[in-house]
Chains A and B, each alone.
Chain A
Amino acid sequence: MQLLKQVVEEFSVKEIDPVALKIEREGVTQGILNSLAEKGFLGALAPVEYGGAGLDERGYLVLLEVLAKHSPSVGMYVLLQNSLFISPILRYGTKELAQEIVPGIASGKSSGTIANYLLSGGKISIEGSSLSGTSDLVPNSSAQMCLVLAKSGNDSQLVLVDGGFSIVSDSRKLGFRGLRYSTVSFEGAKAKSILLSGGGEREVQNLYNDSSSHVSAMALGMSEAALDMAVSYAKDRQAFDAHLIEFQPIAFSIARLVSEFNVYEKYLYGISSVKEGMMLKELVLEFSRRASRASLQVHGGYGYIEDSGVERFYRDTMALELLTGNRISDMSELSKELLGGESAKY
């Protein structure tokens, strides 16, 4: 794991850091995608026979944490391809489908996304194999393929769509500006394959529950970056004839955040169940916002300007929560997991 961390760290320093701010302004470039593919990161969770890297869960967490530390947008792209696209295809699709789709994703030749009305509140429905409706905030909306949670009567299906959907308008972007987010229309699109013909909502919620640890790794990577920046700025910047780090309120606040980071990171790599991932996610999403807000504050006026590279963590940590979950349903899931099915009804 230490070795993998080193590999991803070196990769990020070499390939991502020089263009990290450019990615924010112009998007994740094909060049970055190619080098991610070359390292096997785009298909991190896919088995080797599908062109993936076949990483285990912990290896995948390392990858996400380090990538998010260097570029949250790149981390999010990899999470999207693996946790929310490849995973459900491997789990619910046929072997043939996986063989057809996954290698293209892993090699960066094509890319995927997911439209989930549980998060966006959009209305997508399916009749036979024909889809209709639109979905807001579809991430990586220029992707060729999309997993769609669609209503069919009183039930819901999870289907794969290959092309045939179109971008209606781009959304404002609080975070992950390196990815394109759009309102997407599925009017007239056809399901290429039906992965789940019923019970889609429950399974999609499970999919998001399962990726709690992945989201946690992202949150921790971003927190680490924000805190590193806070520490080095506070050691360098002077006010009132002292370095900022010499003032107790600043030192106490950063010291506490660094402690929290270390405790959470240790827990992350010991996670052995979905429940543990969900518990950690509940803590670290809030923590990562607190850490990035503190870092921005330490940077004073500079922190408010994009060029400082700090304010994006403030935006991205909030966007991470909103784009990978929903506060009330996530907390209800966690409550039920910990306290039983009757909890958190009202």
Chain B
Amino acid sequence: MRLDFNLPEDVEEVKQKARKFAIEEFNDKTASRHDLEELYPYELRKKAFEAGLVRIDNPWGVLLTMEEFCRVDPGLGLSILASVFGSELLLLYGTDEQRQKYMEPVLNGSKISAVAVTEPGAGSDVAGISSKLEKSDDGFLLDGQKMFITNGTITDFFYVLARTSPPPSKEKRHHGMSVAIVDRYWPGVSVNKLKGKLGMRATDTAEIKFEGVKVPNENIIGEIGKGFYYIMTFFNISRVYVAAQSVGIAQGALDELLNYVKNSGSNEESLQFILAESASKLEAARLLTYKAASLVFQFNPDPALTSMAKYFSAEVANSVTESALEYMGQKGLLSRLERLYRDSKITEIWEGTSEIEKLVIARTLIKRAMQGDQIA
């Protein structure tokens, strides 16, 4: 048997196209301005759609576009690619009508979506949310508050996780939640942009309030009460994209460092070691990410592997940007490394903190061990 590490030609083509797009469009001036002023890049998003770079029907293409975009500028790259955030929920569990009405306009770039899970009082502990979808005569009434929602003020609708029934017991806290599609402009929905993020400042982040929002029955996704599992399945997909963000950020930092070494003609061994260590870590993170992605894209995800990719790559992104900046000194501070250093931190927080990924890894492995399985 042969393990083939080459990308298929069509994916390689998308990768090159994404790289070219990023280099041409995400120049330092544009990236700095969107970072400094916390501006969402509407125009760039449009251009990327026109260039055919946002196509979730080609998941490898999106993964590599994520990597190439984040390699040049994570804030801009993510703003563009996250405009389809959550679409997999409908792809997997939606009805034809829901897909047609909500997902298709997002995939063709005319609309934007958002996923609203986190609340002021519950992030990692998803089952601890308190938003409620209460049964009414002709559907549901949604009440609750969501926090740190990406695309919150620019989205057309939210995929909202809320309780449709109280937890049956302490052990079964994750029962009784459902996912609803909620239009941004329905009465009772209000959004408030959160300013002053450490990094990823081109992305839009908001807190959302739902006050007595009427949600029709047909806007509930899948079965009532299964929301937690849908969201976890979704995270198992989205986490490989976060891993790809991290790989891209680490590659971007390495690019800067290599460039610096090349231009300064410096041949100090300490610098060479940092370069070697960073490149090795990056390569390991990339292989892990591609392996996890490969399983996800074959509809055979391994949650342990996905979480390993997400956690490990985030750590690599953080350590590579940190040492590149440290060793380049003030030259690094004046380069886009300064931005990469701030952007990288989010990869350890969103879509499951590194601590939560470690718990997923350990618990999956322990469960398998208890079932007498062997890990591949």
Alpha-carbon distance A160/B270, docked complex (angstroms): 35
Q: Determine if A174 and B196 form an interchain contact, defined as CB atoms under 8 angstroms apart.
A: no
Size bracket of the A interface: 35 or more
Residues of B296-353 whose CB lies within 8 A of A: 318, 322, 325-327, 329-334, 338-339, 341-342, 345-346, 348-350, 353
* Contact status A174-B270, CB under 8 Å: no
* Distance in Å: Cβ of A19 to nearest Cβ of chain B: 16
Tell me which residues across on chain B come within 8 A of A206, comparing CB atoms: none
B59 contacts the other chain (CB 8 A): no
Q: Are B342 and A305 in contact (CB under 8 A)?
A: no
Asked if B198 and A318 make an inter-chain contact with CB atoms under 8 angstroms apart, the answer reads no
In angstroms, how far is the closest chain B Cβ from the Cβ of A58?
Answer: 29
A307 proximal to B (CB < 8 A): yes
B342 touches A174 (CB 8 A): yes
| Contact indicator B196/A306 (Cβ below 8 Å) | yes
A137-B198 CB under 8 A given contacts A297-B354, A328-B327 = no
Interface contact B270-A289, CB-CB below 8 Å: no
Cβ of A300 < 8 Å from any Cβ of B?
yes
A239 pairs with B128, CB closer than 8 A: yes
8 Å CB contacts to B: which residues of A291-330?
293, 296-297, 300-301, 303-307, 311, 314-315, 318-319, 321-323, 326-328
Q: How far is the CA of A328 from the CA of B261 in the complex (A)?
A: 13
- Partner pick for B333 among A174, A239, A249, CB 8 A cutoff: A174
Contact mask for chain B residues 113-132; partner A; CB cutoff 8 A; 1 contact, 0 none? 00000100111110010000
Map CB proximity to A onto B279-310 as digits: 1 under 8 Å, 0 otherwise. Answer: 00000000000000000000000000000000
Whether a CB of chain B sits under 8 angstroms from the CB of A331 is yes
Which of the four size classes fits the interface of chain B?
A: 35 or more
Contacting B341 at CB < 8 Å: which of A174, A303, A306, A327?
A: A174
Contact A300–B326 (Cβ < 8 Å): no
B147 at the interface (CB under 8 A from A): yes
* Complex CA distance for A318 and B199, rounded to whole angstroms: 15
Contacts of A305 in B (CB 8 A): 194, 196-198
Decide yes or no: A322 and B325 within 8 Å by CB, A119-B330, A305-B196, A346-B268 being known contacts: yes
CA gap between A121 and B333 in the complex, in Å: 12
**Interfacial residues of chain B within 198-217, with CB under 8 A of chain A in the complex:** 198-199
Q: How far is the CA of A241 from the CA of B125 in the complex (A)?
A: 9
Bound complex: CA of A322 vs CA of B328, how far in Å? 9
Q: Nearest Cβ distance between residue A306 and chain B, in whole angstroms?
A: 3
- Which residues of chain B have C-beta atoms less than 8 A from A136's C-beta? 330, 334
Chain A neighbourhood of B199, CB < 8 A: 304
Determine which of B124, B170, B333, B353 lies in contact with A322 in the assembled complex, contact meaning CB atoms within 8 Å. B333
B148 contacts the other chain (CB 8 A) = yes
Q: Is the CB of B32 within 8 A of A297?
A: no
Number of residue pairs A-B, CB distance < 8 angstroms: 108
Say how far B306's CB is from chain A's closest CB, in angstroms. Answer: 20
Q: Indicate whether A120 reaches chain B with its CB closer than 8 angstroms.
A: yes
Say whether B355 faces chain A, with CB atoms less than 8 Å apart: yes
A318 touches B322 (CB 8 A): yes
The answer to the question of B9 belonging to the interface, with a C-beta cut-off of 8 Å to chain A, is no
A77-110 interface with B by 8 A CB criterion:
none
Determine whether B271 belongs to the interface, using a CB cutoff of 8 Å to chain A: yes
Report yes or no: A319 in contact with B333, Cβ–Cβ below 8 A. Answer: yes
Q: Given B148, B325, B331, B358, which contacts A318 in the complex, CB threshold below 8 Å?
A: B325
B333 with A314: CB separation less than 8 A? no
Contacts of B118 in A (CB 8 A): 301
Given contacts A300-B349, A305-B194, A306-B198, contact A137 B124 (CB under 8 A): no
24 contacts between A and B (CB under 8 A): A137-B330, A172-B36, A172-B339, A239-B122, A239-B123, A239-B124, A239-B128, A241-B170, A247-B355, A249-B358, A296-B198, A297-B355, A300-B123, A300-B124, A301-B148, A301-B350, A303-B349, A304-B345, A306-B197, A311-B345, A314-B345, A322-B325, A346-B267, A346-B269
